[in-house]
Structure 1
Amino acid sequence: MQSHLLIGAASSGSGKTTFTLGLLRALKNRSLRVQPFKCGPDYIDTRHHRMAAGSPSINLDRYMMSDQHVLDLYARYTAGTDVAVTEGVMGLFDGYDGMQGSSAEIAGMLQIPVVLIVNAKSTAYSVAPLLYGFKHFNRSIKVVGAVFNFVASENHYSFLKQACEDAGVEALGYLPKRADVEIPNRHLGLSLDEDFCFEEFADRVAELVEKHVNIDRLLELTTVSESIHSPLERKQGVWHLPLRTAVARDAAFNFVYEENIRYLHSLGEVVYFSPLKDSSLPEVDFVYFPGGYPELHLAALSANKPMLESVRRYAEGGGRLLAECGGMMYLSDEIRDKDGNAYPMAGVLHQSATMENMKLRLGYRTLLYKDFRLKGHEFHYSRLAEQKNPLPSCAVAYTAKGVETDTPLYRFKNVLAGYTHLYWADPAGNEWFTNYLYGKE
């Protein structure tokens, strides 16, 4: 017997992540085998999931992934587990185009029961029509219960329970309004600061979930007698030689999709290095610089001259290197902080990245590169400073709705770099990646 649930909400800011982390830790504390998932392209929530549950969190995304890949991932990672917990994105029905790409679409596709997290701040019985609407709006989505957040008192919860009864949605409990269960925010998603005491936070929320939420009933409502899907037999590619990959991983670079890294492991050995602390790149066939928070470590990154020189020599010597967002910034001549102070970087790409006048850029991206369609997501506050002769983009970028946009992809020798966090683990759409890795372009 397994429990499968998707944690959805009426809107962002309802407390999905806080409740998800508390539930994951509470289930782990019960010695249950828990598998977390995240709807959409988020790479910060998944890291928190892993810390709370003790197992890697996997993205499920119907824009970046084929349907078969989503089915395969869910089946493969839920096999042998007791509970699968999927955290939704934004509001339950919010997608990149109507309901397309929404949490509800994932719930319907995978037949996952939905537990709604409802922001109860400044409301009571008025949640009844909201709950009724979410339960009946789309019959392919099975809303089995509700948990309320920011509840002021037991008396407040009594009104919310009455609303649930009249709306036909079971009340499963609540989280009280408390300042010490709020996750601190950075300018880019949830904080991953080393000084944030995550373990204490997760235990604190788990204690509240155990006390105020009927976990046993939640698991009962979401239990199925057999796996929702059977894993597909994976077809292994045939490579001429195994690849050795180096992945940048430290406090400055850590925004990765778990399945991307798993795919690299399938091609050969994967080693890790720190642009903050190490003095040179390891001997490898391919280097991956993911995004992260380089802007929070500018002095240390710039002061590590041996690593900067090692990266520059590798790139200029024709080494294969993929850099995304913060990784691309690291390859630039310099990064300027929000006050305009410049910090020299690797100098592979002759441009300046800056945090001055920060403005959010986000959304799904499709990059037309040669004869391929690269899928990914853009999310950043930095920008590239204007210059007389900007580097030309080697791809044409489009939004999820097919509108051309100016998101660049740069090519220097065998270096690919851009703002898009690319997904390459789906066999149905990663020919561009394997061709690039093996020099078959």
Structure 2
Amino acid sequence: MSEHRCPALLVSAPASGQGKTSVTAALARWHRRQGRKVSVFKTGPDFLDPTVLARASGGAVYQLDLWMGGEEDVRERLHRAAAEADLLLIEGVMGLFDGSLSSADLAVRLGIPVLAVIDGSAMAQTFGAVAFGLAHYRAGLRVYGVTANRVGSDYHAQLLADSLPPDLTWLGALPRAAELALPERHLGLVAAGEQDDIDMRLDALADAWGAHARDVLPAPVGFPATHRSVFMPLLKGKRIAIAQDAAFCFLYPANLDLLRDAGAELIFFSPVAGDALPACDAVWLPGGYPELHLAALARNTRLRDALHAHVDAELPLLAECGGMLYVLDALTDRDGVTYPMAGLLQGQAAMQSRLCALGMQSVTLPEGSLRGHTFHYAQAQITRSPVALTVNPDKGPSREGVYRHHRMTASFMHLYFPSNADAAMRLFLP
């Protein structure tokens, strides 16, 4: 297996909220318009930004995370993408140097140049100082260029460009404009599938980028071949029913790929639309926004009854975060209105106005150890004692209980299946 070479950029910033997703989406859509195949990745455990980036690029967006997936997983995905793409774009997480395994760590370890995005809306010449700091804070990090977001005018953009030291390249700016903003809510960006005007916004971002874009790609980066992990297809012939709609939408493409590679047939259904449970050997209720669709979920009594029969038959069910909220007895929305849920796990939860948990997580279950993350605004009171508690590798305060009833596994933790393929497969076996 040979090395593949492909131009690549890691899009990062001094902090969250600077406009990394907007710039990455603008780049992806603009280069796609030029006839290039663009493969986009997201650093960190994010479900929402990738939906926008997938729409912009026209392809699935996979996670790259040195802790959650491991370096071999990261290198394998980049090697495969570089064989087919004309440009690789990786959106970073938080600020460039934030976290124990930061976006800068990824860039240095893999030799990928950085495109620094800085919100210039409230600064002028200080822009150059911030850019200089990002470029020179860490030895071995290469900043390819700098772009400004939310500039007020051409004159403002010129002030920012003129402030850069000679060794940093100005790559242009995106203006501050309502039509370029990507809508948000309590967990982050609104998923692309819920935005009727998403293509109009992405085209506007690409138009704004194209006003100054130079049709020049960064120098190719070499991505060596890796030893691809091989696992036994333990799920051969198994039918896994997966909830997928506006209430249950947090699905890593890598998790779905792993289940398919393990031999499973995936059947998708919509609890919000009133679908019954398909004939299946296992069920997966992923995270999402059940709190925004409580009336529809409460009405779907056919599904509730079928899930009870499924669990009572000691067949596997995995309920993650929003999925766990759904399997409780009741869930209260932010307005204080309580709705009955599936009643598979004794307890109830209520949505809060403030974030309740955030951070990477690992957990050891009878099936093996898995990694993932937690991020939610719900507070739950669950009667059953947990069979395990998750651990935050950064020693943060967030620890989640994992609950079992027969072969049902429920937790606020979102699992990243490639962190332990064997353990992930066994969650879907009787």
- Give the counterpart letter for 1:418 in structure 2: S
Measure how far apart 1:134 and its partner are: 1.5
Aligned residue number for residue 392 of structure 2? 399
Q: Deviation string for 1:286-315 (max 9, x for gaps)?
A: 211110011111101111111121122111
Contact 1:248/1:275, CA 8 A, preserved across alignment: yes
- Give the counterpart letter for 1:348 in structure 2: L
Residue 201 in 1 paired to residue 205 in 2?
Answer: no
Measure how far apart 1:105 and its partner are: 1.1
**Residue of structure 2 aligned with 1:274, choices 270, 275, 280:** 270
The separation in 2 between residues aligned to 1:310 and 1:318, in whole angstroms, is 13
Measure how far apart 1:141 and its partner are: 1.4
The separation in 1 between residues aligned to 2:365 and 2:205, in whole angstroms, is 45
- Give the counterpart letter for 2:86 in structure 1: D
Contact 1:35/1:85, CA 8 A, preserved across alignment: yes
- Give the counterpart letter for 1:186 in structure 2: R
- Secondary structure, aligned partner of 1:425: helix
Q: 1:358 to 1:93 in 2, by over 3 A?
A: closer
Q: 1:240 to 1:279 in 2, by over 3 A?
A: closer
Measure how far apart 1:121 and its partner are: 1.4
**Residue of structure 1 aligned with 2:15, choices 8, 11, 14:** 11
Q: Which runs of 5+ in 2 are unaligned?
A: none
**Residue of structure 1 aligned with 2:96, choices 92, 103, 125:** 92
TM-score (norm 1): 0.91
- Secondary structure, aligned partner of 1:115: strand
**Residue of structure 2 aligned with 1:252, choices 243, 247, 250:** 247
The separation in 1 between residues aligned to 2:84 and 2:43, in whole angstroms, is 21
- Give the counterpart letter for 1:417 in structure 2: A
Residue 436 in 1 paired to residue 422 in 2?
Answer: no
Number of aligned pairs? Answer: 424
Aligned residue number for residue 261 of structure 1? 256
- Secondary structure, aligned partner of 2:189: coil
Measure how far apart 1:382 and its partner are: 1.0
The separation in 2 between residues aligned to 1:136 and 1:404, in whole angstroms, is 32
Identity of aligned residues (%): 33
Contact 1:118/1:147, CA 8 A, preserved across alignment: yes
Contact 1:250/1:276, CA 8 A, preserved across alignment: yes
Residue 290 in 1 paired to residue 290 in 2?
Answer: no
- Secondary structure, aligned partner of 2:403: strand
Q: How does 1:100-111 map to 2 (within 5 A)?
A: 100-111=100-111
The separation in 2 between residues aligned to 1:195 and 1:3, in whole angstroms, is 31
**Residue of structure 2 aligned with 1:369, choices 342, 365, 370:** 365
Residue 176 in 1 paired to residue 161 in 2?
Answer: no
Aligned residue number for residue 62 of structure 2? 58
Q: 1:287 to 1:196 in 2, by over 3 A?
A: same
- Secondary structure, aligned partner of 1:254: strand
Q: How does 1:185-334 map to 2 (within 5 A)?
A: 185-192=184-191, 194-214=194-214, 216-217=215-216, 219=217, 222-224=218-220, 227-239=222-234, 241-268=236-263, 269-334=265-330
Q: Deviation string for 1:26-56 (max 9, x for gaps)?
A: 1121221110100000011111111111100
Residue 350 in 1 paired to residue 346 in 2?
Answer: yes
The separation in 2 between residues aligned to 1:31 and 1:303, in whole angstroms, is 47
Aligned residue number for residue 408 of structure 1? 401
- Secondary structure, aligned partner of 2:42: strand
Q: Which runs of 5+ in 1 are unaligned?
A: none
Residue 30 in 1 paired to residue 39 in 2?
Answer: no
Aligned residue number for residue 418 of structure 2? 425
- Give the counterpart letter for 1:69 in structure 2: D
Measure how far apart 1:368 and its partner are: 2.9
- Secondary structure, aligned partner of 1:398: coil
The separation in 1 between residues aligned to 2:260 and 2:284, in whole angstroms, is 13
Measure how far apart 1:4 and its partner are: 0.5
The separation in 2 between residues aligned to 1:185 and 1:381, in whole angstroms, is 15
Q: 1:167 to 1:133 in 2, by over 3 A?
A: farther
- Give the counterpart letter for 1:378 in structure 2: T
- Secondary structure, aligned partner of 1:108: helix
Structural RMSD (CA):
1.9
Measure how far apart 1:195 and its partner are: 4.7
